[in-house]
Structure 1
Amino acid sequence: MPVGVAMIMHDFYPSIGGAQTHTLMLSRALRKHGVDVMVVTRPHPGTPAREQVQGIPTYRVGMKGGRTIAGLSYLAAGIAVLIRERHRYQILHCHQMISPMTLALIARVLPGKRLVINPHGRGPRGDVAKLTKLRPLTGKVRVAAALRWGDAFVAIARDIHDELRTMGVPETRIWDIANGVDVDHFTPASPDERMALRRTLGLPDGRLVVFAGRLTVAKALDVLLNAWAQRDATLADARLVIVGEGELRDDLVRQTHTLGIEGSVIFTGGTNDTAPYLRSCDVFVLPSRTEGMPIALLEAMACSLPCVATRVGGSTEVIEDGKSGRLIAPEDAGALARALAEAFATPMWGVYARQRVRDQYAIDAVAQRYATLYEHLLNDRNASPVRTPV
């Protein structure tokens, strides 16, 4: 019988974010490996309660409303779907250790089910911290349930692995499987393709630095704008392209005016596909204060962009400092400005970056690691956790 997996998420496509992008790519790749995948997620404006998202059956359950109403309706409607579709899957794969994990823990009591718990965030506001520090009452109950009923835990970065160990998860139940990227979709552009993409996207000629992601405090775009204001004369004609939406957009636009750099910063808004923007630009920057395993960085590296990122989370595992990019300390605008100039002067970083991503983070290889995990759980083997090479 083919393996069936129910991906359980808070948000899913067309919602924009690293976890959403990764799960969609992973689900598509798993289907190529013969794994039947369905997704259970919360409602999204303008989308039906049930639809096929790029071939993936997707159930959007629950109601909009306050936190309590939305949470309870998500659990009630989600368990109804999982019971109704129980013959379709054997693996419950929850992404994030908040309401998706609670739903998966409830469904875990169904006969023959196994549970994979997959946190995506790290640090003070990451998945483990939310349970152990930010939700001291309900968090303790959920931690205990996860330790009792979680058959395997996925660590997408070393920091998350360490946090899971601190939470009490045995080493034997942690599988280190990094996020992946579609290296056929995210691929370098020829000079002609780059120019054509710029015309299509309305981007100017000249040198372009690109950021792609949510406009949130965690991404530290305020530091990036301060760095951009400090860039040296060699980058005087360059433009900074900020791709994404988020609650800080208005504040960031105001900051560009305060710093007098509004003429060299372009806010494109959000997109469901960053590939055209990445392929049209010259350098990628990720100034984050915290990260799990950043999908945007993997995508940029796959496009052969020289990358500059802060030394946080999975970025430190992906970038070989000085070979496939540059790692700097977070919050250091001066170092960030210097690193951007260095990136333009070191195009070979992009060549090595794509090679590294193709070797270690291609989504098909990542899907095979998950397929191995699922098979181990279903066959009740004494599975040896996967270690992703870095």
Structure 2
Amino acid sequence: MTIGVAMVMHDFYPSVGGAQTHTLALSRALRARGVDVIVVTRPYPGAASYEEVEGIPTYRVGVSGGRAIAGWSYLIAGLAVLLRERRRYQILHCHQMISPMTLALMGRALPGKRLVINPHGRGPRGDVAKITRLRPLTGKLRVAAALLWGDAFVAIARDIHHELRTMGVPEARIWDIPNGVDVERFAPATPAERQALRRNLHLPDTPLIMFAGRFTVAKGLDILLNAWAQRDAVLADARLVLVGDGELRERLVQQAHSLGLDRSVIFTGSTTDTAPYLRAADAFVLPSRTEGMPVALLEAMACGLPCIATRVGGSAELIDDEQNGRLIAPEDVDALVRALPEALSMPVWGERARQRIVERYAMDAVAQTYIGLYEAALTHGRSLMARDGTV
């Protein structure tokens, strides 16, 4: 039997973020294994209401506007798509636990459908916190519906597993499956390839420490800029490259200017393909205040970069401190100042990081684990037993 999966999510390509990047890569890998995948998501400025993204049918439904209008239109139009395409899928795989989960729960009422719930964030800004604490009126209803109709829950990090248990999800319905990365596309560059990439990206031929992600409070870029302003003299010729965009962009540009960093910090703008930037870099830094299982860190480690990350969420599962990278406390400017030159001086960290990703987080193995989950959900429904998805 061919498995069909409807990925239900808030944002998707060309929107840039960890959940979007992971879901696109997972969908590609699933399709390569004969799984029929469609995506149902919200509108994106300038993007068509329907297109095939790398061969994946993508439906952008609803209208923009106030929260209530956008939310209800997404649910109504999304349900219409799920009804119309109901013969194409048996699995509803929802990413995040607010409106995507609500839509997926509605689709779960259709005959023969199974529901996989996949939170991507943890902590005070994470999925479980949003549904249990930030939505006091509707949260209890959504939790009750999720516990009743969710056939399986995916924990991409240990913290999220714990939060799901706290929410009341039975252990038997939680599958520990990390985010994955395409280890062929994200691979170390040779010196010649690195130089060519820098020329194409208009980056200087000098030590480059890179960040890639959304410019949000959670990513801690204000801390990074403060640390960069205090960096050691050994980094005088280095450049900090910030790849991405977000609501804090203008504030961060102003902060860099006020700290006298105009010449040493490069804002590249948004991109839908971080691989060339990461392969052009010498090291990577992720100064987050909170994380789920950070896709950007997975990608950087797969590229063989020595990485610095804060000890939050899945980052602490990926990095063994001073073995394959450097872990520091969030908000610790002094520790970040000390770690920056360390990363450039420890290429062996990058070699070990690459090995860790290839062994445990390669997308091919992650996709195969998801197929096992889908098959178990179709066979056993909510009575399926949990399985450790570590790959």
Q: TM-score, normalised by structure 1?
A: 0.98
Task: State the match for 2:246 in structure 1.
Answer: 246
Q: Counterpart of 1:127?
A: 127
* 1:309 aligned residue: 309
Please name the residue that 1:385 is paired with.
386
Gaps of 5+ in 2: none
The alpha carbon displacement at 1:128 in A equals 0.4
CA deviations over 1:349-375 (Å, ceiling 9, x no partner) = 000001100010011100001000000
**Deviation of 1:120 (Å):** 0.4
Is the Cα contact below 8 Å between 1:241 and 1:268 reproduced in 2?
Answer: yes
CA contact (8 A) 1:94 1:100 kept: yes
Task: Name the counterpart of 1:322.
Answer: 322
Q: In the alignment, what sits opposite 1:152?
A: 152
Question: Could you tell me which residue of structure 1 aligns to residue 108 of structure 2?
Answer: 108
RMSD after superposition: 1.0
Summarize deviations over 1:231-261 as a string: whole Å, max 9, x none: 1111111110000001111111111122122
- Give the 5 Å matches for 1:79-228: 79-228=79-228
Match of 1:370 in 2: 370
Judge which range, 93-102 or 248-257, deviates more: 248-257
Preserved CA contact (<8 Å) 2:71 2:99: yes
Match of 2:45 in 1: 45
Q: 2:29 corresponds to which letter in structure 1?
A: A
The equivalent residue for 1:347 is 347
Alignment partner of 2:267: what SS? strand
**8 A Cα contact 1:183 1:302, kept in partner:** yes
Cα deviation digits, residues 256-311 of structure 1 (max 9, x gap): 12212221000000000001110111000000000000000000001000000000
Check whether the contact 2:180–2:361 (CA below 8 A) recurs between aligned residues: yes
* 4+ runs deviating over 3 angstroms: 381-384
Match of 2:265 in 1: 265
Q: Please list the CA deviations of residues 325-366 of structure 1 after superposition, one character each: whole Å capped at 9, or x if unmatched.
A: 010000001101111111111110000001100010011100
Instruction: State the Cα distance separating 1:30 from its structure 2 match.
Output: 0.6
2:178·2:390 contact (CA, 8 Å) conserved in 1? no
Counterpart residue type for residue 271 of structure 1: T
Q: Match of 1:285?
A: 285
Shift of 1:6: 0.4
Segment drifting more, 172-181 vs 60-69: 60-69
Give the residue type in structure 1 aligned to 2:244. Answer: G
Asked if the contact 2:177/2:390 (under 8 Å) is kept, the reply is no
Are 2:65 and 1:65 aligned? Answer: yes
- Which letter does structure 2 place at the counterpart of 1:198? R
Q: CA deviation at 1:32?
A: 1.5
1:63-107 CA-to-partner distances (Å, cap 9, x unmatched) read 111111111111111111111111111000000000000000011
Amino acid at match of 1:117: I
Instruction: Report the Cα distance in structure 2 between the residues aligned to 1:59 and 1:85, rounded to whole angstroms.
Output: 11
Distance in structure 2 (CA, Å) of the matches to 1:28 and 1:385: 25
SS of 1:12's equivalent?
A: coil
Contact kept, 8 Å, 2:155 with 2:177, in 1: the verdict is: yes
Match of 1:356 in 2: 356
Aligned to 1:6: 6
- Give the counterpart letter for 1:207 in structure 2: P
- Paired with 1:380 and 1:40, the residues of 2 have a C-alpha distance of 25
Asked whether the 8 Å contact 2:286–2:310 carries over to 1, the reply is: yes
Deviates more, 1:251-260 or 1:375-384: 375-384
Query: Which stretch shifts more, 335-344 or 97-106?
Result: 335-344
1:26-52 residue CA offsets vs partner (Å, 9 max, x unmatched): 001011222111100111122221111
Structure 1 position 383, deviation (Å): 3.5
Please give the alpha-carbon distance, in whole angstroms, between the structure 1 residues aligned to 2:256 and 2:2. 54
The DSSP-based 3-state class of the residue aligned with 1:87 is: helix
SS at match of 2:142: helix
Inter-partner Cα distance in structure 2 for 1:132 and 1:28: 33
Instruction: Please say which of residues 33-42 and 279-288 is displaced more in the overlay.
Output: 33-42
% same residue: 73
1-structure distance, mates of 2:357, 2:367: 15
Tell me, yes or no, if the aligned pair for 1:211 and 1:241 is still in contact at 8 Å. yes
> SS of the residue aligned with 1:14?
coil
Q: Is the 8 A contact 1:95 1:118 kept in 2?
A: yes
The residue type paired with residue 366 of structure 2 is V
CA contact (8 A) 1:177 1:386 kept: no
Return the letter of the residue paired with 1:16. Answer: V
Q: Kindly indicate whether the alpha-carbon contact (under 8 Å) linking 1:157 and 1:314 is maintained by their aligned counterparts in 2.
A: yes
Unaligned runs of 5+ in 1: none
